Structure 1
């Protein structure tokens, strides 16, 4: 990975659909060079842009985290099978402990999650036990995570992404065209408008207008994901803990500001805080826990789940090195 590659990825984390022409002056390279660099990164599975649920999903959709236990010999087989299911947007194999797999589940409503868990997951022969908790507030998630390769002046030039108002159309009101556009953009969030028009059987102007409605209304957002070879953070750890109810709303001002915070949510259940961090090595796990408790003294960590391998992340299949190898489009809308 060159410095230009890293800067390019960070720029796309801030503005995932920016044109190469717009980014060229900022990064000190030609548009052709940037396009070529990005093509190599995506072909090698090192970085990719995809559509994800936007702010409106927090109001009308449902996010859950499922912890599964299975027989040791069934771990890989079960993870691969669940990765084919669109409701399980992220599938992570955990180091031996209380659970073997951790799933991020997104669905349009609570009933869909219950059916997926009770009728889908519970029916799988390898599942021995499971626990499902629901996110009541999401303070940090993957689309907000940054690589940190650009300096303050470059970030100033990029500007702040336009905030969505989060008041988009209810998920059930999306048209067939809306869903077709989202399907294509989950596969490749940088798909051009002309290509979107061809894929969905409409005009580029219509595709632009519908996409603008989806993003400004908060139905969809975009994020740039990376493999560990790019982030330099190969270790994933998820902390579960308990904090008094009157302290939970401080999470966005405390734990979410810590370096390497990838996910932070208030959840249902006895352990009402769930946080995932990407770290440089296992030795950093205790350092991160110590820092978290220092920032929020009322927090009591009850569980530390070390990730062994991410099989699927937000609909994208990954190999053992965390490189993208394929797509299983998510459809939480």
Structure 2
């Protein structure tokens, strides 16, 4: 099956105001029915269905059902791979095709790769990070940082901050708040084979029909609905909207690696998460213990953001930046299919 990696010039799809309202609604509640979405958006069911069909078939966006690795006792990592100048894209494409990677980006003018990697168990974290990547030809250096806490991201994205829905509309769609992440004692949620089959399908299509999920898992439709609700209430399952890279991101994107006084890290992380420019923020291991992805209109705006907003973060000791050149893979484990021709 073809993917965006194999598409030389994917069609650009502009989001209208109605499209953005629907995208924000789906970011809040990815499995809301057309009727529920229509009630909140103030349009007909048929209008919502028509907008969704156009956006999905054009490759503009898709809804994904994803899992929190910390809820599964897995180890999530941020990895930076420095390559020889001619190798970053080919190695990045290979990483993007792996199901244990997400958010594969070419950074620093396309000479480095950044990506997120999740490993099934902490003891197996060196399988990709410490063994295979450093021995890959034309890889110069690998740096890995374990994710410790997410301040903004996962089920939240930039459209939660900038979308057109009113607070009342957003609240009408919002699911119950999930409990805090599990303690050091281990995973809070256990999964059986049916759960894993269902979650694998949702990672490909977060709005997969209940009947399709029931056939794949061997469960009844009512059991599928109940189990999805349980996993979501427990904070393991969440829904995210993946956009085609050409339609959402602003002209200048960058990664921030900040060194924060450990005593001020929660305060700084929460302050950073509130910035409208920030699409992701998390505490990580290493000297640079706060990571963020930033999306702004241009380099001049980024300069003002770093020197004005970032500079005032509590406990800030050091700042490093890396411009994002190109996104090869988004939030899900599977690459999206190429858009269907109209």
TM bucket (normalised to shorter chain) is 0.7 to 0.9
Moved more, 288-297 or 188-197: 288-297
Distance (Å, rounded) in 2 between the aligned partners of 1:51 and 1:264: 20
What TM-score, normalized to structure 1? 0.87
1:162 aligns with 2:179: no
Structure 1 pair 167/236, CA: closer, same or farther in 2 (3 Å)? closer
Match of 1:300 among 317, 328, 332: 317
Aligned residues of 1:239 and 1:303 also touching (Cα < 8 A)? yes
1:113 aligns with 2:125: yes
May I ask how many residue pairs the two structures share in their alignment?
Answer: 319
Match of 1:216 among 233, 256, 271: 233
Structure 1 pair 241/167, CA: closer, same or farther in 2 (3 Å)? closer
Counterpart of 1:62 in structure 2 is 75
Shift of 1:128: 1.6
Aligned residues of 1:317 and 1:326 also touching (Cα < 8 A)? no
Counterpart of 1:89 in structure 2 is 102
Shift of 1:76: 1.3
Shift of 1:192: 1.6
In the TM superposition, 1:124-273 aligns within 5 A as 124-147=136-159, 148-158=163-173, 160-166=174-180, 170=187, 173-231=190-248, 233-273=250-290
Distance (Å, rounded) in 1 between the aligned partners of 2:38 and 2:195: 31
Shift of 1:28: 2.3
Distance (Å, rounded) in 1 between the aligned partners of 2:331 and 2:270: 26
Distance (Å, rounded) in 2 between the aligned partners of 1:59 and 1:39: 33
Aligned residues of 1:46 and 1:230 also touching (Cα < 8 A)? yes
Distance (Å, rounded) in 2 between the aligned partners of 1:20 and 1:151: 19
List per-residue Cα deviations over 1:114-138 (Å, max 9, x = no partner): 2221223223223121111112222
What TM-score, normalized to structure 2? 0.85
Structure 1 pair 162/241, CA: closer, same or farther in 2 (3 Å)? same
Structure 1 pair 287/143, CA: closer, same or farther in 2 (3 Å)? farther
Shift of 1:50: 0.5
List per-residue Cα deviations over 1:124-171 (Å, max 9, x = no partner): 22312111111222211142124222123322433x321122578937
1:36 aligns with 2:50: yes
Mind listing any 5+ residue stretches in structure 1 that lack a counterpart?
319-323, 328-333
Shift of 1:244: 0.8
Q: Please state whether the residue corresponding to 1:51 is helix, strand or coil.
A: strand
List per-residue Cα deviations over 1:217-250 (Å, max 9, x = no partner): 2221111222355435243211112111111110
Q: CA RMSD in A?
A: 2.5
Counterpart of 1:6 in structure 2 is 20
Distance (Å, rounded) in 2 between the aligned partners of 1:216 and 1:151: 24
Mind listing any 5+ residue stretches in structure 2 that lack a counterpart?
1-14
Shift of 1:182: 0.5
Distance (Å, rounded) in 1 between the aligned partners of 2:288 and 2:120: 24
Structure 1 pair 210/25, CA: closer, same or farther in 2 (3 Å)? closer
Aligned residues of 1:70 and 1:128 also touching (Cα < 8 A)? yes
Moved more, 306-315 or 177-186: 306-315
Distance (Å, rounded) in 2 between the aligned partners of 1:123 and 1:104: 19
List per-residue Cα deviations over 1:250-288 (Å, max 9, x = no partner): 034311110031111122112112111122222221122
